[in-house]
């Protein structure tokens, strides 16, 4: 009998599970914080939310894949995982795993024993505690980070149903349920046919990249197209970026008021998490790089975070009571919050750009 538990911590971003899985690993390692705060600055949005299964997201080198059968885009993992210097990502075909002639429980345990986190699709119909358990067949990505032979369980990070809410957390899955979920999941699309083994790379050195952060922040403030820097990997797609995401959320709310679009809290949760990350980034810049001129910006930015937190909470209320007055309040709050954030981030960018010029290549 043996047990192995690889370390994870609560992540800063959970709006989409692929962020949650990766950042829950990195959250355990404070040395990766400079990389995190150098990134996760830009946002992108499909103007028509129906055009993508991931319509609103942080820009972090996502691969946007068009699914012709569904006539919409989705997000691939390869570019994203390979962009993270702290993780090595080994990509294995699920078909090859199942053809090895060994049971998947032994395979998963061996991976974890080798200090590899397992990032894979499973069918949540077979997984207790998830929203789809014994209700619907649903393929979803989970992070498997431990096992316990005595209990006969894997330790998993994913979304679970907690009373009336779905939340990202850690829980145990019996071996037999995981075997069913792993082996019986039905996956459409070549990009979903892989399991990723993630191993932490402890000797990476990545100081805060002030120039890179300035470029991203400038793109956010000016609604610049960040995919232009990826044209060798990703063809140009007409998306909204940065501050333009506010008007996208307003348009979504207008469509929701007219019952022309399905309810989806994820874009509003991501928008709120963007503000919590920016608030934490400001604190990091003050303490890590000594940018004392950002203290006033950091204090005032709390109102931006509060505004988006309020919108998110009102949307949750709207889901319960369908009160159209809440839509008007949410739109008004977005319209108040956008110019405040624009002004504060322009000040933030000026301080960062000035500091970058003074450093002359010292800290980047």
What token pair was written down for 217? 């922040």
**pLDDT by 10-residue block (mean), the chain, 364 residues:** 92 94 96 96 91 87 65 73 92 85 89 96 92 90 96 94 75 96 85 90 94 96 82 70 97 96 95 98 95 97 98 96 96 98 98 76 46
- What are the DSSP calls for 154-180, one per residue? EEEEEEEEETTEEEEEEEEEEHHHHHH
Contact present, 221 and 209 (Cβ < 8 Å):
no
Q: At a CB cut-off of 8 Å and minimum separation 6, what does 269 contact? A: 14, 15, 312
pLDDT the model gives residue 62: 66
How far apart CA 319 and CA 327 sit, in angstroms, is 11
Q: Is 91 exposed, middle or buried (CB count within 10 Å of its CB: 0-12, 13-18, 19+)? A: middle
Report the 10 Å Cβ neighbour count for 311. Answer: 23
pLDDT the model gives residue 68: 63
Specify the DSSP class assigned to residue 62. Answer: P
What pairing do the DSSP bridges indicate for beta strands 194-200 and 117-123? antiparallel
Helix runs in 119-225, H state only: 175-183, 210-221
What token pair was written down for 99? 């053809």
pLDDT the model gives residue 209: 94
Contact present, 19 and 26 (Cβ < 8 Å):
no
pLDDT the model gives residue 362: 47
Helices and strands counted in the chain (H then E): 11, 12
Contact present, 88 and 196 (Cβ < 8 Å):
no
Torsion sign (Cα): 98, 103, 109, 113: negative
How far apart CA 281 and CA 288 sit, in angstroms, is 10
Q: At a CB cut-off of 8 Å and minimum separation 6, what does 108 contact? A: 118, 144, 147, 154, 178, 182
Q: What does the chain come to in residues?
A: 364
- What are the DSSP calls for 269-299, one per residue? HHHHHHHHHHHHHHHHHHHHS--GGGHHHHH
pLDDT the model gives residue 359: 57
């Amino acid at each position: 009998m043996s047990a192995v538990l690889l370390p994870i911590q609560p992540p800063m971003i959970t709006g989409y599970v692929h962020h949650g899985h990766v950042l829950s690993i990195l959250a355990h390692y404070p040395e990766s914080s400079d990389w995190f705060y150098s990134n996760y600055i830009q946002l992108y949005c499909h103007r028509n939310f129906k055009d993508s299964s991931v319509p609103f997201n942080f820009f972090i080198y996502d691969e946007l894949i068009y699914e012709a059968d569904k006539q919409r885009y989705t997000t691939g993992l390869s570019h994203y995982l390979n962009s993270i210097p702290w993780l090595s990502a080994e990509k294995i075909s699920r078909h090859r795993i199942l053809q090895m002639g060994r049971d998947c429980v032994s395979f998963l345990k061996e991976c974890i024993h080798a200090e590899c986190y397992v990032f894979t699709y499973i069918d949540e119909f077979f997984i207790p505690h998830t929203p789809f358990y014994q209700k619907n067949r649903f393929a979803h990505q989970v992070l498997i980070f431990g096992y316990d032979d005595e209990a006969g369980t894997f330790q998993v990070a994913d979304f679970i149903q907690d009373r009336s809410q779905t939340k990202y957390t850690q829980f145990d899955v019996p071996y037999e349920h995981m075997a069913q979920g792993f082996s019986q999941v039905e996956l459409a699309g070549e990009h979903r046919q892989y399991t990723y083994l993630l191993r932490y790379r402890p000797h990476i050195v990545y100081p805060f990249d002030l120039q890179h952060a300035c470029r991203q922040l400038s793109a956010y403030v000016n609604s610049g197209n960040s995919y232009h820097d990826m044209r060798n990997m990703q063809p140009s797609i007409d998306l909204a970026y940065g501050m333009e995401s506010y008007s996208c959320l307003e348009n979504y709310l207008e469509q929701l008021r007219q019952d022309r679009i399905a309810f989806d809290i994820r874009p509003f949760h991501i928008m709120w998490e963007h503000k919590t990350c920016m608030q934490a980034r400001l604190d990091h810049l003050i303490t890590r790089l000594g940018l004392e001129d950002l203290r006033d910006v950091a204090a005032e930015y709390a109102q931006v975070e509060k505004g988006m937190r309020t919108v998110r909470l009102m949307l949750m209320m709207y889901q319960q009571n369908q009160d159209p007055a809440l839509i008007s309040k949410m739109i008004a709050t977005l319209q108040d919050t956008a110019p405040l954030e624009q002004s504060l981030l322009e000040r933030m960018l000026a301080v960062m750009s000035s500091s970058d010029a003074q450093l002359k290549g010292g800290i980047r």
